[in-house]
Amino acid sequence: MPMDPRHAILFEPVTVGCKTLPNRFYQVPHASGFGSSRPRSQAAFRGMRAEGGWGGVCVEYAAISPDSDETPECSADFWDDGHAAALALTAEAIHAGGALAGLELFHGGAASVNGTSRLPRLAPSQVASELQYGGLAKELTAEDIARIQRDWAEAARRARDAGFDIVYVYGAHGYLLTQFFSPVLNRRTDGYGGSVAGRGRFWLETLATVREEVGGDCAIATRIALHGDSGVAGGGGLPGIEADEMLELIAMAADLVDLFDVTVGTWPENSGTSRYYPEGHELPWIRRVREATAKPVVATGRFSSPDLMARLVADGVIDLVGSARQGIADPFLPRKVAQGRYDEIRECTGSNICILREESFHHIGCVQNATAGEEFRRGWHPESFPAAANPEEPVLVVGAGPAGLECAVVLGRRGYTSVHLVAAEPAAGGRLSWIRGLPTLGDWGRILDYRLVQLGKLGVQVITGQRLSTADVLGYGARVVVAATGSAWRADGVQPGIPEPMPGAQAGPPFVLTPEDLCVRGLRPAGKRAVVYDTDGYFMAPALAELLAKEGYQATIVTTYPVLSPVSDQTLEGGMLRAHLHQAGVKVVYATTVTGIDPGSAVYGADRDGEPWRAACEGIVLVTQQVSRDELYLDLTRDQAALGGAGIAAVYRIGDCVAPRMISEAIFDGHRLARELGTEDPSMPLPYQREPAGLA
């Protein structure tokens, strides 16, 4: 179908200083984990977005000097010519795709870790704050200020010479410029503190210095933060700079800046998870920027709707549609809009798995797009797949959860003409079909929606409500069988460190329940006092507790961890999750192990100090450990003669059937097997390239 005429505005060129962007799609700076130390991975990752039609593509924050060293975090470095040569590969790759290349230059100040350089942190004032740990920062002298401004100008010159079109003076997210803005962190009396103009002086001077150095060759961008709901952290939990003051500063900088990249509040709010922030949640703050400047504005909001994007541009709220997470989920979104392929857009789920992966593993990934981060090392392309060598070979995928769905989609895209996807449940989706119905998790259903639409377009046959036995599979007529039968939560209370069943767990429903008992079978605790026992540490126990609380139960989560849902801190939603549950009336008991159940009356165990602990309740939901549903796979593979007699050449397993894990990893597993089917041994991943070259 053709592009909707309303979306034509998104493909208008936009002049930014001395540069012109080919359209209004702009991939803002965001971390990848690659930095400048894995230049080929960085170049392939960013180049894919340019190929996908984004008019501007930026590299993540790049430190201008060793005293802004982020180790062990995953920024880029950009204080010498070696760093510039490494990132020049990325600028070249972005240009090859027809986009402008941007580089976000920054100094972290008191927020810098300096784990490698071991230099002291620097700050406007030597004030204790949440930005610092293990010692205070050095208060910047006048000479330090002048040196940092020179470093910024020299880094901008290197960026220009490396081929970058847009250079940033990064002033958001609690880094050095934000620290100067804050009346809490900045207590100076030398003209760089006090009034709004004084606190903004360092930023304005740095902008002027960078503009003088490269303003005739590069567009000058700055990233700034308005207050937002959570505010810009000023230190010690006190408020930082307010929105009205930030607007004053924007007006002061209007002649020095070609592009304002606007964020709000703290990083967890700016990159707000879909569990607690809707698409476009920043707009009330973004709209205010027009009070201060007519210069081009780019802003993010997890925008996935072309209608909303076009409306915001037409209304003058933004000039460029900024994206980080949506561009990871679908690098080809602009081209799909231009070609009217709206039903092929992979919408971001807002689960923030991308952030967890780049922060914790220094290698970005995505629950929606299994190719994210694999562009260089595996040579994967999100829209291109190797043609099947034997396209008519019948393939049976048993199980239609995330792994099975992804496997079937990739097989269809490779040209396999006889792919059957069979689900035992009445509807495809596996566990996600009920997870999406839990409180706050609705947007995770986009994982299923996208894949089900693609299967229909590809002609893959989806069969539901058919639980296949071993005999059924042997008689099916498939040449290749993929077991994607998933996993289930244990009902016996086996948990990490305690491999034996929990005393009393054999009582079963309605006193002892599993997540499936609640969400699939519709069972509920025998009375209103319910405990959800969590050794998983992610979303399941909090979501179930909230579900029970909404239904009138007195819900208490007992967790073995010292903090509830520690994994959610890695996805930037931990603080919001805990506040949300508190508001919902859910109580939490921390660092406590449940070791037994008195059916009908109580659960018992030990607290963090080893002291006996007991709580009265009329029901417990066990979120302790999962177990693979691998019986079909094991039955099939233990009888090779039967497989041969049935004409089955190979049986593989994917996802939770191999080992229970995060949804993103199950999807990756299904994608990899399907992409590599036809190689010598698809059960083992093909070797992938590593950096630096020469490593096996």
Active-site residue set: 175
Q: Is 641 exposed, middle or buried (0-12, 13-18, 19+ CB in 10 A)?
A: exposed
Q: Which of 188, 36, 189 is nearest to 105 (CA)?
A: 36
Closest CA to 402 of 437, 449, 342, 355: 449
CB distance 68 to 38 below 8 Å: no
Whole-number Å distance between alpha carbons of 454 and 448? 10
Q: Which of the 8 DSSP states describes residue 233?
A: B
- The DSSP symbol for 381 reads B
What's the rounded Cα separation, in Å, for the pair 319 and 11? Answer: 11
φ, ψ dihedrals at 597, nearest 5°? -130, 130
Q: Report the b/e string of 368-389 with b at 16+ CB within 10 A.
A: bbbbbbbbbbbebbbeebeebe
CA distances from 269 to 277, 442, 674 (A): 8, 19, 37
Q: Considering Cα of 363, then 369, then 370, then 374, what sign does the dihedral take?
A: negative
Q: What is the DSSP string of 46-79?
A: HHHHHHTT-SEEEEEEEESSGGG--TTS--EE-S
> Between β-strands 602-606 and 593-598, what pairing exists: parallel, antiparallel or unpaired?
antiparallel
Q: How far is CA 559 from CA 401, 538, 549, 613, 621, in A?
A: 28, 11, 17, 13, 12
Taking the C-alpha atoms of residue 611 and residue 291, their distance in angstroms, rounded to an integer, is: 59
Q: Write the burial class of residue 142 (CB in 10 Å: 0-12 exposed, 13-18 middle, 19+ buried).
A: exposed
Strand ranges for 490-550 from DSSP E: 512-513, 529-534
